[in-house]
Amino acid sequence: MSPSEIAADLREVGVPAGLIGYEYQPLGEATLLDGIGASGLVVFGSSGLFGRLGVDVTSRHVVQIPKIGSATAWHVNRDLGALHQCVAATIACFPFYQEDQEENFQEVADELRRLLAALDDTALADNGLWETLCDDVAMGDYANWEDE
């Protein structure tokens, strides 16, 4: 697989328009980063303050790097189609907690994990985007509590 074939996939399949908060945002233009994976990484999105999401040229898996210049890549999804499904399902679940009752954040996170795993059995990789998001949900980071 070459970077130009990945670029063609990105044009055909596209990338999700974004996720909740700064977990994932698309970049204006895809870029090839050498030195990550065997053949490089075609980066198409940002994740958090410094991270990037892209397609590994060799495996075609969607991966996340913690910052530009990092040689570490964490698995996100098996392919672009699975990324689309996981993003759409996560957005459909938001807000994660109901405002009229006290929620058990861990139960909400576990339900989100089950949903993501059903869409892509590789999505909950250790240190990956989805596992980190579910950990944040379990801690209540996405609660929309209003001050009374």
Residue 73, domain member (yes or no): yes
Residue 147, domain member (yes or no): no
- pLDDT, one tens digit per residue, over 13-43 is 878 888 887 788 999 888 888 766 657 889 9
Q: Give dist(CA 42, CA 52) in Å, integer.
A: 10
Residue 16, domain member (yes or no): yes
pLDDT greater at residue 131 or residue 35: 131
Residue 22, domain member (yes or no): yes
**Entry pTM:** 0.85
C-alpha dihedral, 73 to 77 to 80 to 84, nearest 10°: -130
Q: Is the pLDDT of residue 111 over 90?
A: yes
Residue 30, domain member (yes or no): yes
Residue 44's domain comprises 3-138
- Number of domains present in the structure of the chain: 1
**Would strands 62-65 and 25-33 be described as parallel, antiparallel, or unpaired?**
unpaired
Residue 112, domain member (yes or no): yes
Q: Which tokens in the block code for residue 18?
A: 């974004």
Residue 86, domain member (yes or no): yes
- pLDDT, one tens digit per residue, over 71-84 is 888 999 999 999 99
Residue 33, domain member (yes or no): yes
pLDDT greater at residue 136 or residue 7: 136
Q: Give dist(CA 134, CA 36) in Å, integer.
A: 26
